[in-house]
Amino acid sequence: MIDTPDEYWQEEIVGGLLDFGHDTQAELFWQLHSQEELYEEGPLEDLGLYLSRGLAILNYAAKGKRIYLHAKPFVWKPRIVLTVALSEELTEATSDDDSSSSRGIGRVISSDVADYERFYLGMAQAYYYPEDQALVLWECDVFHLTKHTEEDLGDGAFFVTLWQRFESMLRERFPATKLIVTPGWEPGYSSEEWRAFLKRQGYAPDEEHKRTFIKLLDSA
């Protein structure tokens, strides 16, 4: 495989089989980049997210460290080379032209997989706060197979499956997580559609700040 990612991406991990419909499946992979960064406006305020002070599991430190995670889901796509045999076909003369002509035609005699290349499905971002054991699922964007309609957000839809795989990967990567936070809005979808989708994924609006959605996890 000659398709080499740039140095920004630090690792690749397997994400399980992904169903594309029409009896087509492919192994999902994630390209990952992570880095530690400082925040200085409270743990979530610089992201436009706010939580009730009643969530006692958060320290609400004005400054601290968090881990930023950038992910790109992809599948390996075969690069196929066709071998074609060419021959000439004689065409009949027309009434305006008594001469005959020939044209090249061909038939495929073989097809071979020359290599594989990454086919990127979307982009996702998250933040993890080790001191608070809190995770922000900031974004999960899909480049293909979506129409930005309510149909995208139904059970079994491609976007929903990718969202669930991203959340599952994050929880495996940060197993101490007790709280997941995510915006209650998403460009391209109405507020009603998006919030109904989040509720089906187990999220609920924060008691004081309804535009922020949260999911409390059982302590290990």
Kindly list the domain boundaries of the chain, sorted by start residue. 11-76+121-216
| Residue 220 pLDDT grade (very low, low, confident, very high; cuts 50, 70, 90) | very low
Confidence band for 212, pLDDT divided at 50, 70 and 90 = very high
pLDDT for the residue 107: 75
The region, left, alpha or beta by phi > 0 then psi within -120 to 50, assigned to residue 42 is left
d(CA 109, CA 107): 6
pTM of the prediction? 0.80
Topology of domain 11-76+121-216, per CATH?
A: Aminopeptidase (3.40.630)
Q: Where are the beta strands (DSSP E) in 40-120?
A: 64-91, 101-120
Residue 51's pLDDT band (boundaries 50, 70, 90)? confident
CA distance 108 to 218: 58
| Cα–Cα dist 173/34, whole Å | 11
Average of pLDDT values for 77-84? Answer: 70
Torsions phi, psi of 196, nearest 5? -65, -40
Q: What digits encode the pLDDT tens for the residues 19-30?
A: 776 777 889 999
pLDDT score at 81:
66
